[in-house]
Protein backbone atom coordinates (compact mmCIF):
# COMPACT_ATOMS: atom_id res chain seq x y z
CA UNK A 1 0.00 0.00 0.00
CA UNK A 2 2.77 2.38 0.95
CA UNK A 3 4.73 1.51 -2.18
CA UNK A 4 1.70 2.38 -4.36
CA UNK A 5 1.34 5.79 -2.64
CA UNK A 6 5.04 6.48 -3.14
CA UNK A 7 4.81 5.66 -6.83
CA UNK A 8 1.81 8.03 -7.14
CA UNK A 9 3.71 10.88 -5.41
CA UNK A 10 6.75 10.38 -7.65
CA UNK A 11 4.56 10.38 -10.75
CA UNK A 12 2.85 13.63 -9.70
CA UNK A 13 6.26 15.29 -9.06
CA UNK A 14 7.53 14.17 -12.46
CA UNK A 15 4.46 15.64 -14.16
CA UNK A 16 4.87 18.94 -12.32
CA UNK A 17 8.55 19.08 -13.25
CA UNK A 18 7.90 18.42 -16.91
CA UNK A 19 5.13 21.05 -16.90
CA UNK A 20 7.50 23.74 -15.51
CA UNK A 21 10.23 22.75 -17.95
CA UNK A 22 7.87 22.98 -20.96
CA UNK A 23 6.51 26.33 -19.85
CA UNK A 24 10.01 27.67 -19.29
CA UNK A 25 11.09 26.57 -22.76
CA UNK A 26 8.08 28.38 -24.29
CA UNK A 27 9.01 31.54 -22.35
CA UNK A 28 5.87 31.32 -20.38
CA UNK A 29 4.73 34.25 -18.30
CA UNK A 30 2.16 34.74 -15.67
CA UNK A 31 1.96 32.87 -12.39
CA UNK A 32 4.72 30.45 -13.34
CA UNK A 33 7.14 33.26 -14.10
CA UNK A 34 6.26 34.95 -10.84
CA UNK A 35 6.74 31.70 -8.95
CA UNK A 36 10.11 31.15 -10.61
CA UNK A 37 11.18 34.70 -9.69
CA UNK A 38 10.16 34.25 -6.08
CA UNK A 39 12.02 30.96 -5.86
CA UNK A 40 15.14 32.53 -7.44
CA UNK A 41 15.05 35.44 -4.99
CA UNK A 42 14.72 33.07 -2.05
CA UNK A 43 17.54 30.88 -3.27
CA UNK A 44 19.76 33.97 -3.83
CA UNK A 45 19.10 35.17 -0.31
CA UNK A 46 19.99 31.76 1.07
CA UNK A 47 23.24 31.78 -0.94
CA UNK A 48 24.15 35.25 0.40
CA UNK A 49 23.49 34.17 3.99
CA UNK A 50 25.48 30.99 3.43
CA UNK A 51 28.38 32.94 1.95
CA UNK A 52 28.38 35.32 4.94
CA UNK A 53 28.40 32.38 7.35
CA UNK A 54 30.85 30.05 5.65
CA UNK A 55 33.27 32.56 4.03
CA UNK A 56 35.36 33.01 7.25
CA UNK A 57 35.58 29.26 7.64
CA UNK A 58 36.65 28.83 4.04
CA UNK A 59 39.11 31.74 4.42
CA UNK A 60 40.70 30.01 7.44
CA UNK A 61 41.19 26.89 5.39
CA UNK A 62 42.77 28.88 2.56
CA UNK A 63 45.02 30.76 5.01
CA UNK A 64 46.12 27.51 6.63
CA UNK A 65 47.08 26.08 3.25
CA UNK A 66 48.98 29.26 2.30
CA UNK A 67 50.78 29.33 5.68
CA UNK A 68 51.77 25.70 5.24
CA UNK A 69 53.25 26.49 1.83
CA UNK A 70 55.13 29.48 3.24
CA UNK A 71 56.44 27.37 6.10
CA UNK A 72 57.78 24.81 3.62
CA UNK A 73 59.35 27.60 1.57
CA UNK A 74 60.99 29.09 4.68
CA UNK A 75 62.37 25.66 5.64
CA UNK A 76 63.72 25.17 2.12
CA UNK A 77 65.34 28.63 2.13
CA UNK A 78 66.90 27.99 5.54
CA UNK A 79 68.34 24.70 4.29
CA UNK A 80 69.74 26.44 1.21
CA UNK A 81 71.23 29.21 3.38
CA UNK A 82 72.93 26.64 5.63
CA UNK A 83 74.29 24.80 2.61
CA UNK A 84 75.67 28.05 1.18
CA UNK A 85 77.18 29.01 4.56
CA UNK A 86 78.90 25.62 4.80
CA UNK A 87 80.17 26.02 1.24
CA UNK A 88 81.59 29.48 2.01
CA UNK A 89 83.22 28.17 5.19
CA UNK A 90 84.74 25.20 3.40
CA UNK A 91 85.91 27.47 0.58
CA UNK A 92 87.59 29.79 3.09
CA UNK A 93 89.28 26.82 4.79
CA UNK A 94 90.39 25.43 1.43
CA UNK A 95 91.81 28.83 0.45
CA UNK A 96 93.67 29.05 3.77
CA UNK A 97 95.13 25.57 3.25
CA UNK A 98 96.09 26.42 -0.30
CA UNK A 99 97.82 29.62 0.85
CA UNK A 100 99.64 27.75 3.62
CA UNK A 101 100.81 25.08 1.19
CA UNK A 102 101.90 27.70 -1.34
CA UNK A 103 103.96 29.49 1.31
CA UNK A 104 105.46 26.20 2.48
CA UNK A 105 106.55 25.31 -1.05
CA UNK A 106 108.13 28.73 -1.48
CA UNK A 107 110.19 28.25 1.69
CA UNK A 108 111.21 24.75 0.60
CA UNK A 109 112.19 26.06 -2.82
CA UNK A 110 114.23 28.94 -1.42
CA UNK A 111 116.17 26.63 0.92
CA UNK A 112 116.25 23.66 -1.48
CA UNK A 113 114.67 21.47 1.17
CA UNK A 114 112.97 18.30 -0.01
CA UNK A 115 109.77 18.11 2.01
CA UNK A 116 106.69 15.98 2.48
CA UNK A 117 103.63 18.13 3.24
CA UNK A 118 101.35 17.13 6.13
CA UNK A 119 98.36 18.40 8.04
CA UNK A 120 98.16 18.85 11.79
CA UNK A 121 95.37 16.59 13.08
CA UNK A 122 95.82 16.78 16.87
CA UNK A 123 97.46 18.82 19.59
CA UNK A 124 98.60 17.45 22.90
CA UNK A 125 101.51 16.24 25.02
CA UNK A 126 103.15 12.86 24.51
CA UNK A 127 105.45 11.28 27.08
CA UNK A 128 107.69 13.89 28.67
CA UNK A 129 106.95 16.64 26.12
CA UNK A 130 104.36 19.34 26.83
CA UNK A 131 104.27 21.06 23.43
CA UNK A 132 103.52 18.58 20.64
CA UNK A 133 101.26 18.14 17.62
CA UNK A 134 100.30 15.08 15.58
CA UNK A 135 100.56 15.10 11.80
CA UNK A 136 98.91 12.74 9.30
CA UNK A 137 102.01 11.13 7.77
CA UNK A 138 104.28 8.41 9.12
CA UNK A 139 106.67 5.62 8.23
CA UNK A 140 104.68 4.65 5.14
CA UNK A 141 105.44 8.16 3.82
CA UNK A 142 109.18 7.90 4.50
CA UNK A 143 109.12 9.88 7.75
CA UNK A 144 111.81 9.20 10.36
CA UNK A 145 112.60 10.47 13.82
CA UNK A 146 114.56 13.72 14.21
CA UNK A 147 113.50 15.21 10.88
CA UNK A 148 112.93 18.98 10.82
CA UNK A 149 109.38 20.26 10.55
CA UNK A 150 108.68 23.66 8.98
CA UNK A 151 105.77 25.75 7.73
CA UNK A 152 105.47 28.83 5.53
CA UNK A 153 106.96 31.04 8.29
CA UNK A 154 109.89 28.95 9.46
CA UNK A 155 110.88 26.26 11.93
CA UNK A 156 108.09 24.47 13.77
CA UNK A 157 109.94 21.62 15.51
CA UNK A 158 111.23 18.12 14.93
CA UNK A 159 109.72 14.65 14.63
CA UNK A 160 109.97 12.92 18.00
CA UNK A 161 107.95 9.74 17.35
CA UNK A 162 106.81 7.99 14.17
CA UNK A 163 103.97 5.53 13.57
CA UNK A 164 102.71 3.96 10.37
CA UNK A 165 100.30 6.72 9.38
CA UNK A 166 100.99 9.49 11.92
CA UNK A 167 103.92 11.22 13.58
CA UNK A 168 104.44 13.29 16.71
CA UNK A 169 106.21 16.63 16.40
CA UNK A 170 107.74 18.34 19.42
CA UNK A 171 107.55 22.11 18.94
CA UNK A 172 110.53 24.41 19.34
CA UNK A 173 108.94 26.18 22.33
CA UNK A 174 108.95 22.99 24.41
CA UNK A 175 111.29 23.44 27.42
CA UNK A 176 113.17 20.27 26.49
CA UNK A 177 114.21 21.60 23.06
CA UNK A 178 117.65 23.01 22.23
CA UNK A 179 118.59 24.19 18.74
CA UNK A 180 121.93 25.27 17.38
CA UNK A 181 121.22 28.70 15.83
CA UNK A 182 122.96 31.61 14.19
CA UNK A 183 122.33 35.34 14.00
CA UNK A 184 121.39 36.12 10.41
CA UNK A 185 123.93 38.31 8.67
CA UNK A 186 126.78 37.19 10.89
CA UNK A 187 128.75 34.13 11.96
CA UNK A 188 127.71 34.43 15.61
CA UNK A 189 126.16 31.21 16.91
CA UNK A 190 124.46 30.14 20.09
CA UNK A 191 121.97 27.76 21.65
CA UNK A 192 118.26 28.38 21.24
CA UNK A 193 116.02 26.94 23.96
CA UNK A 194 112.29 26.58 24.42
CA UNK A 195 110.66 28.34 27.35
CA UNK A 196 107.23 26.70 27.40
CA UNK A 197 105.74 29.98 26.17
CA UNK A 198 104.30 29.87 22.64
CA UNK A 199 105.60 33.36 21.87
CA UNK A 200 109.07 33.25 23.38
CA UNK A 201 112.41 31.48 22.96
CA UNK A 202 115.81 32.14 24.53
CA UNK A 203 119.04 32.46 22.59
CA UNK A 204 122.26 32.22 24.57
CA UNK A 205 125.26 33.43 22.57
CA UNK A 206 128.46 31.44 22.75
CA UNK A 207 130.47 34.62 22.30
CA UNK A 208 129.58 37.00 25.14
CA UNK A 209 131.03 39.88 23.12
CA UNK A 210 128.88 39.18 20.06
CA UNK A 211 126.90 42.08 18.68
CA UNK A 212 123.14 41.46 18.58
CA UNK A 213 120.34 43.98 18.08
CA UNK A 214 116.60 43.90 18.50
CA UNK A 215 114.96 42.98 15.19
CA UNK A 216 117.74 40.71 13.96
CA UNK A 217 116.65 37.32 12.66
CA UNK A 218 117.79 33.94 13.97
CA UNK A 219 118.19 30.88 11.70
CA UNK A 220 119.17 27.27 12.33
CA UNK A 221 122.89 26.57 12.25
CA UNK A 222 122.30 23.01 11.05
CA UNK A 223 122.99 19.55 12.45
CA UNK A 224 125.07 16.68 11.11
CA UNK A 225 123.27 15.16 8.10
CA UNK A 226 120.50 17.69 8.63
CA UNK A 227 119.06 15.93 11.71
CA UNK A 228 117.39 17.02 13.83
CA UNK A 229 117.59 20.47 12.22
CA UNK A 230 118.43 21.36 8.65
CA UNK A 231 120.51 24.54 8.14
CA UNK A 232 119.21 27.99 7.26
CA UNK A 233 115.61 27.58 8.50
CA UNK A 234 114.22 30.87 9.86
CA UNK A 235 113.39 30.63 13.57
CA UNK A 236 112.44 34.08 14.83
CA UNK A 237 113.60 37.60 15.59
CA UNK A 238 115.25 39.24 18.58
CA UNK A 239 112.82 41.16 20.79
CA UNK A 240 115.06 41.84 23.78
CA UNK A 241 118.69 41.45 24.85
CA UNK A 242 119.36 40.81 28.52
CA UNK A 243 122.82 41.56 29.82
CA UNK A 244 125.69 43.59 28.45
CA UNK A 245 128.53 42.61 26.15
CA UNK A 246 131.06 40.48 28.03
CA UNK A 247 128.62 38.92 30.51
CA UNK A 248 128.59 35.13 30.44
CA UNK A 249 124.81 35.03 30.92
CA UNK A 250 123.98 37.27 28.02
CA UNK A 251 120.66 36.04 26.58
CA UNK A 252 118.39 37.30 23.81
CA UNK A 253 114.62 36.81 23.84
CA UNK A 254 113.33 35.51 20.50
CA UNK A 255 109.80 35.65 19.09
CA UNK A 256 109.18 32.69 16.73
CA UNK A 257 108.21 33.47 13.16
CA UNK A 258 105.76 30.54 13.09
CA UNK A 259 102.46 30.89 14.92
CA UNK A 260 102.64 27.65 16.88
CA UNK A 261 99.08 27.99 18.19
CA UNK A 262 97.52 27.99 14.70
CA UNK A 263 99.32 25.25 12.80
CA UNK A 264 97.53 23.66 9.84
CA UNK A 265 99.82 22.74 6.94
CA UNK A 266 103.44 21.82 7.72
CA UNK A 267 106.26 20.09 5.87
CA UNK A 268 108.72 17.46 7.06
CA UNK A 269 112.21 17.95 5.64
CA UNK A 270 112.99 14.46 4.36
CA UNK A 271 116.24 15.59 2.72
CA UNK A 272 118.27 18.68 3.70
CA UNK A 273 119.98 20.85 1.07
CA UNK A 274 123.45 19.88 -0.11
CA UNK A 275 124.78 23.31 0.81
CA UNK A 276 123.79 25.66 3.61
CA UNK A 277 121.25 28.17 2.20
CA UNK A 278 122.49 30.66 4.79
CA UNK A 279 120.02 33.58 4.95
CA UNK A 280 118.36 33.07 1.58
CA UNK A 281 115.20 31.58 3.13
CA UNK A 282 114.49 34.71 5.16
CA UNK A 283 111.88 36.99 3.57
CA UNK A 284 113.25 40.10 1.90
CA UNK A 285 113.14 43.11 4.16
CA UNK A 286 111.50 46.36 3.01
CA UNK A 287 113.86 48.79 1.29
CA UNK A 288 112.69 51.56 3.66
CA UNK A 289 113.73 49.66 6.78
CA UNK A 290 116.46 51.52 8.73
CA UNK A 291 119.84 49.97 8.23
CA UNK A 292 122.08 48.79 11.05
CA UNK A 293 124.27 51.30 12.85
CA UNK A 294 127.16 52.14 10.45
CA UNK A 295 130.71 51.41 11.47
CA UNK A 296 133.91 53.02 10.15
CA UNK A 297 135.26 49.75 8.75
CA UNK A 298 133.69 46.76 7.08
CA UNK A 299 132.79 43.98 9.49
CA UNK A 300 131.87 40.30 8.98
CA UNK A 301 128.29 41.30 9.75
CA UNK A 302 128.12 43.80 6.88
CA UNK A 303 129.77 41.33 4.51
CA UNK A 304 127.22 38.70 5.40
CA UNK A 305 124.40 41.20 4.85
CA UNK A 306 125.78 41.80 1.35
CA UNK A 307 125.69 38.06 0.72
CA UNK A 308 122.11 37.95 1.99
CA UNK A 309 121.09 40.52 -0.62
CA UNK A 310 122.49 38.43 -3.48
CA UNK A 311 121.26 35.04 -4.76
CA UNK A 312 124.76 33.45 -4.89
CA UNK A 313 125.74 31.08 -2.05
CA UNK A 314 128.44 32.19 0.33
CA UNK A 315 131.95 30.67 0.28
CA UNK A 316 131.12 28.91 3.57
CA UNK A 317 128.04 27.29 2.03
CA UNK A 318 129.89 26.07 -1.01
The average confidence (pLDDT) of the chain is: 76
By CB neighbour count within 10 A (0-12 exposed, 13-18 middle, 19+ buried), where does 60 fall?
exposed
| Exposure string over 270-292, b if 16+ CB within 10 A, otherwise e | bebbeebbbbbbbeeeeeeeeee
Inter-CA distances, 236 with 136, 182, 217, 257, Å: 26, 11, 6, 5
Q: Please give the span between the terminal C-alpha atoms of the chain, in angstroms, as a whole number.
A: 132
Note the pLDDT of residue 129. 73
Phi, psi of 117 (to 5 degrees): -65, 150
78 vs 57, higher pLDDT: 78
Q: In the chain, what are the domain boundaries? A: 2-62, 112-283
Q: Give percent of the chain with pLDDT exceeding 90.
A: 38
CB atoms within 10 A of CB 207: 13
pTM above 0.75, yes or no: no
293 vs 83, higher pLDDT: 83
CATH, domain range 112-283:
2.40.10.340
SS3 track for 139-178: HHHCCCCCCEEECCCCEEEEEEEECCCCEEEEECCCCCCE
Note the pLDDT of residue 167. 95
Cα 258 from chain centre: 17
Average pLDDT of span 212-222:
92
How does residue 5 score in pLDDT terms, banded at 50, 70 and 90?
low
133 vs 289, higher pLDDT: 133
Note the pLDDT of residue 153. 93
Note the pLDDT of residue 130. 82
Q: Which helix (H) or strand (E) holds 299?
A: none
User: How confident is the model over 269-306, as pLDDT tens digits?
Assistant: 999 999 999 889 987 665 444 444 444 444 333 333 33
How does residue 242 score in pLDDT terms, banded at 50, 70 and 90?
confident
Amino acid sequence: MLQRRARVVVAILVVITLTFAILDLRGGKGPFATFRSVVGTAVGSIESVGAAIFSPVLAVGSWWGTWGDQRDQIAALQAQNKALSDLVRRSAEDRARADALDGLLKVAGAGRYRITPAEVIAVGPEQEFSWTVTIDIGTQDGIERDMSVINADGLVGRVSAVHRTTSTVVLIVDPSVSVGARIAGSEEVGILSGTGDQNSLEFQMLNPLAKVDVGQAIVTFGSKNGKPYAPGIPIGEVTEVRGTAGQLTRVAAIRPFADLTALTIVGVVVRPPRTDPRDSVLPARPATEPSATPTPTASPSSSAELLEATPQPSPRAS
